[in-house]
Amino acid sequence: MVFLSWTQPTPKDQKDCINKSGSFNYDIKFRGATAKPFSKLKEDKELKKDGFLINHSRILVGSGSDAFEKGKTALQTWRHFGLSWAFVEPKTPIEKGVKFCVCVKEFVPWLRMPLEVVYVNDTRTPKTDVASFGFGGGTLKGHLLAGEERFSIEMDGNKQVWYEILSFSKPAHPLSVVGMLQPSCLLSHYNHQSEKMNGPLDNNLLLEHLIFQTFLPPGGCKVGNENLRWHDRIEEVFHDVIASDTDDIHGTLKQKISFRPT
pLDDT tens, the chain, 262 aa long = 778 778 888 899 899 989 998 899 999 999 999 999 999 999 999 999 999 999 888 888 888 998 899 889 989 988 877 666 788 988 899 999 999 999 888 666 888 889 999 999 999 988 888 999 999 999 999 898 899 999 999 999 999 999 998 999 998 877 766 534 443 333 333 334 323 332 344 433 444 443 344 433 333 333 333 333 333 443 444 444 444 443 333 343 333 333 333 3
**Interatomic CA distance for residues 214 and 169, integer angstroms:** 11
In DSSP terms, which residues pair with 157 in a beta bridge? none
Q: Which domain holds residue 194?
A: 3-256
3-state helix, strand, coil in the chain (%, to 5): 30, 30, 40
* In-domain check, residue 261: no
* In-domain check, residue 262: no
* In-domain check, residue 16: yes
Number of Cα atoms under 13 Å in the Cβ half of residue 104? 26
The whole-angstrom distance between residue 22's C-alpha and the CA centroid of its chain comes to 22
* In-domain check, residue 238: yes
Identify whether the C-beta of residue 187 lies closer than 8 Å to the C-beta of residue 146: no
* In-domain check, residue 34: yes
Identify whether the C-beta of residue 201 lies closer than 8 Å to the C-beta of residue 61: yes
- Residues 6 or more apart whose CB falls under 8 angstroms from that of 93 comprise none
Residue burial 14-40, b: 16+ Cβ < 10 Å; e: rest:
bebbbeebeebbbeeebbebbbeebee
**Which parts of the chain fold into alpha helices (H)?**
11-21, 38-41, 45-49, 65-76, 209-215, 230-243, 249-256
**Interatomic CA distance for residues 162 and 184, integer angstroms:** 23
* In-domain check, residue 114: yes
Identify whether the C-beta of residue 208 lies closer than 8 Å to the C-beta of residue 253: yes
User: How many structural domains compose the chain?
Assistant: 1
**Interatomic CA distance for residues 25 and 52, integer angstroms:** 13
* In-domain check, residue 182: yes
**Which parts of 87-229 fold into alpha helices (H)?**
209-215
Q: What is the pTM of this model?
A: 0.70
**Interatomic CA distance for residues 96 and 81, integer angstroms:** 19
Kindly state the DSSP code that residue 142 receives in the 8-state scheme.
Answer: T
* In-domain check, residue 67: yes
